[in-house]
Amino acid sequence: DSVFAHVVKAPEDPILGVTIAYNKDPSPVKLNLGVGAYRTEEGKPLVLNVVRRAEQLLINDRQAKLSVLVSRVKEYLPIVGLAEFNKLSAKLMFGEDSPAIRKNRVTTVQCLSGTGSLRVGGEFLARHYHQKTIYIPQPTWGNHPKVFTLAGLSVKTYRYYDPATRGLNFKGLLEDLDSAPSGAIVLLHACAHNPTGVDPTPEQWEKIRQLMRSRKLMPFFDSAYQGFASGSLDVDAQAVRMFVADGGECLVAQSYAKNMGLYGERVGALSIVCNAADVASRVESQLKLVIRPMYSNPPIHGASIVATILRDKNMFNEWTVELKAMADRIITMRQKLFDALRARGTPGDWSHIIKQIGMFTFTGLNKEQVAFMTKEYHIYMTSDGRISMAGLSSKTVPHLADAIHAAVT
Ligand code: PMP
């Protein structure tokens, strides 16, 4: 008998499980709106042209200066990853002329995409920060509570979404942050809140900033969609930059999964903005002690691709064009779905579909309606009614609109 005979089968991940169910469905009209990955109008995964070009350069190593990137040579990177990648990632997030970077107040370390950056940041805080409680929005990305709990933090929630308006519960948010213990950590989605697609306005962000600074709450930004939400890298970084501009401290987890389509390369960065250069340098030395026993050092290929693109003006511009095209296609899908429901006279106010931003729409459909759409229309999504707009195309919008119409009537 196996010594593991007592091990019970674990449930599927609620998000990744949607794809598993989808794969089992033989229907030709099946539609997967669960997965958080971009698809083209033809429903295909996309590798950006600029990424292909960067990979070609790395393979050919034609430019002598690229040899510093050494993706061709499969050596280990340092514990904190590729130095040039870290520098360029910080600039992308905080701005070309960021005073915090100029004053060396920021330490940036390459991590395993957004998830790994959150985990390393969480473990650093659990070891070295005086407040072990992190407040996450209600609802939030399903992995957040698990990542932070295992990092050693205690997880609490703050009100965020108002089902009645399908918008922000701004009053509840302010009340909950105001009553959080002084110094508590607060997880903020930098833009394109997942799963709701609801972001604070710039004015609301400013109020949140003032309240958090006056209550000495520690901002931990999760930036998984920079450029992917509005189509502009700078616009999507505004909230983060607002908090950095006031001179205070914060953490930022960056991911290149969505905005460069590098999902499986697992490339991201954790930045900790400190109030002085000597603090930042000591913080970095401790980040190494978090990373080393966890995975020693990060992978080289994805970081080399990102650095190759960010360091070259032409490639950077080419990237912004391709990024905007992805963002625009998603925004177009929102409009098409909204129009299709209107045309069907589907009962209810569906304007939240065009008001929400980013990869997802929080439809407001309940669990029973979602189950109905899966059973009768072969449409797959998470049971909270979240649909990935990136998984939709002009061809599949009518089928989805029919399903929603049938589910609510
Ligand atoms: N944060 C949020 C809000 C996300 O939506 C995601 C991806 N679904 C991530 C972090 C992490 O993604 P990754 O680890 O692939 O970068």
Could you tell which of 194, 252, 357 is best to mutate to test the pocket of ligand 1, judged by most ligand atoms within 8 Å of the CB? 194
Q: How far is CA 14 from the centre of its chain?
A: 17
Whether the pLDDT of residue 64 is over 50: the answer is no
Could you tell which of 140, 160, 255 is best to mutate to test the pocket of ligand 1, judged by most ligand atoms within 8 Å of the CB? 255
Residue nearest to atom 4 of ligand 1 (CA): 224
Tell me which residue of 218, 223, 224, 161 sits closest to 355, measured CA to CA: 161
Residue 336 Cα, ligand 1 centroid: separation in angstroms? Answer: 26
Cα gap 229→238, rounded to integer Å:
12
Three-state secondary structure call for residue 195 = coil
Average pLDDT, the chain: 94
Query: How large is the average pLDDT for residues 168-194?
Result: 98
Per-residue pLDDT tens for 140-151?
A: 999 999 999 999
Peptide bond into 398 cis (omega under 30): no
How many CB atoms sit inside 10 A of residue 281's CB?
13
Query: How large is the average pLDDT for residues 227-246?
Result: 97
pLDDT the model gives residue 61: 67
| Range scoring the smallest mean pLDDT among 34-43, 84-93, 96-105, 245-254 | 34-43
Whether the pLDDT of residue 70 is over 70: the answer is no
Per-residue pLDDT tens for 337-350?
A: 999 999 999 999 99
Cα gap 70→304, rounded to integer Å:
8
Residue ranges around ligand 1 (CB below 6 Å): 36, 113-115, 141, 189, 194, 222, 224, 255, 257, 263, 268
Residue 314 Cα, ligand 1 centroid: separation in angstroms? Answer: 28
Cα gap 127→339, rounded to integer Å:
51
Could you tell which of 191, 222, 265, 386 is best to mutate to test the pocket of ligand 1, judged by most ligand atoms within 8 Å of the CB? 222
**Residues forming the active site:** 141, 222, 258
Whether the pLDDT of residue 71 is over 70: the answer is no
| Predicted ipTM > 0.95 | yes
pLDDT the model gives residue 72: 60
Per-residue pLDDT tens for 354-374?
A: 999 999 999 999 999 999 999
| pLDDT interval class at 51 (50, 70, 90) | very high
Residue nearest to atom 5 of ligand 1 (CA): 194
Per-residue pLDDT tens for 195-230?
A: 999 999 999 999 999 999 999 999 999 999 999 999
DSSP 279-338: HHHHHHHHHHHHHHHHHSS--SHHHHHHHHHHH-HHHHHHHHHHHHHHHHHHHHHHHHHH
| pLDDT interval class at 62 (50, 70, 90) | low
Q: Cα dist. 117→22, 47, 55, 287, 328 in Å?
A: 30, 23, 24, 11, 28
Tell me which residue of 184, 262, 187, 261 sits closest to 222, measured CA to CA: 187
Residue 5 Cα, ligand 1 centroid: separation in angstroms? Answer: 34
| pLDDT interval class at 63 (50, 70, 90) | low
Beta carbons of 199 and 225 less than 8 angstroms apart: no
| pLDDT interval class at 59 (50, 70, 90) | confident
Query: Helix axis angle, 301-311 relative to 313-344, nearest 10°?
Result: 100
Amino acid identity of residue 253, one-letter, is: A
Task: Supply the DSSP symbol for 368.
Answer: H
Ligand 1 atom at minimum distance from 141 CA: 3
Query: How large is the average pLDDT for residues 110-136?
Result: 98
Query: How large is the average pLDDT for residues 293-300?
Result: 97
Ligand 1 atom at minimum distance from 222 CA: 1
Q: Cα dist. 220→184, 231, 232, 284, 301 in Å?
A: 10, 23, 22, 17, 27
Q: Percentage of residues in the chain with pLDDT exceeding 70?
A: 97
| pLDDT interval class at 318 (50, 70, 90) | very high
Residue 113 Cα, ligand 1 centroid: separation in angstroms? Answer: 8
Tokens of 266: 């697992």
Residue 367 Cα, ligand 1 centroid: separation in angstroms? Answer: 23
Tell me which residue of 324, 312, 320 sits closest to 57, measured CA to CA: 312
Cα gap 117→269, rounded to integer Å:
6
Query: How large is the average pLDDT for residues 7-32?
Result: 90
Which of the pair, 15 or 386, is modelled with greater confidence?
386
Q: Percentage of residues in the chain with pLDDT exceeding 90?
A: 91
Cα gap 294→127, rounded to integer Å:
14
Q: Cα dist. 235→65, 100, 135, 352 in Å?
A: 32, 19, 25, 21
